[in-house]
Structure 1
Amino acid sequence: MKRYFLLLMLSVVSTLTFGVSLNNTDPLNDYLTAEIERLELEQDLFGLNQADMEAYSIAAIAVYEIDEDVEIEFNTVERLPLDFNAKQGLPNIDWNNFKLFELDEELENDATEGINIIGS
């Protein structure tokens, strides 16, 4: 009887050990493998190669701001509370706590570019 019990316990322990060893995966390793595969796929699809890419200065990037008029197709007054007053808290503001800074901007005058002046 002791032999059968010992054999049963040994088989249970070996089965549990085998099952645990199958599920012993490292999540960090799985994540890194997936990231490497994603980067390789992006490189194959888009032809991005880090060695071929040049470093650019942020100052070399030109940003153009487009001022667009916003057209709201409904009456905004209907969405406000009946007793709404936009200037209600205005006297409570301590304007001495604010520091104003004026930023100097260099403007380039391109207005004369491309204009032919007659007589010169």
Structure 2
Amino acid sequence: MKLVFLMSSLILAASTVVTDSPNEEPDDLSSYKTESVLSEKAHLETLLFHNPDAEPIAIEDIHVLELEEEVCYGFDTSKYLPSNFNPLKGKHDLDWSKIDLVELDEEVNLGFDTKDYLPKGFNPYKGMYKHARCNK
């Protein structure tokens, strides 16, 4: 795990040095030191991804730490909430089968008449309800 962290840090550092160089791009690419950068990148990738001495890491060995940060508002929130307040009360009590969802149709005003830009006799629903016929 330390090797993976070290190699990824080195690759990040190497790519940062390459991309954030203040030098302007030269007209002649032969004077640019791309070969040394590419060889260093290839060396780091070989160490990171093709190291035969490194043992594979089991997924059970990876531990994720979740840090819980305390939020400080600078005042006591309990003074402004009802007594016995529970923010999670009723969270899972909704019965979605009893709730009617209503979609409101909103009129869209584009600011111009769309009929002026469509062919004569245009029907957007033409052919929508044709059913395939089966020959027996």
Pick the TM interval, shorter chain: under 0.3
As a proportion of its length, which structure holds more helix? 1
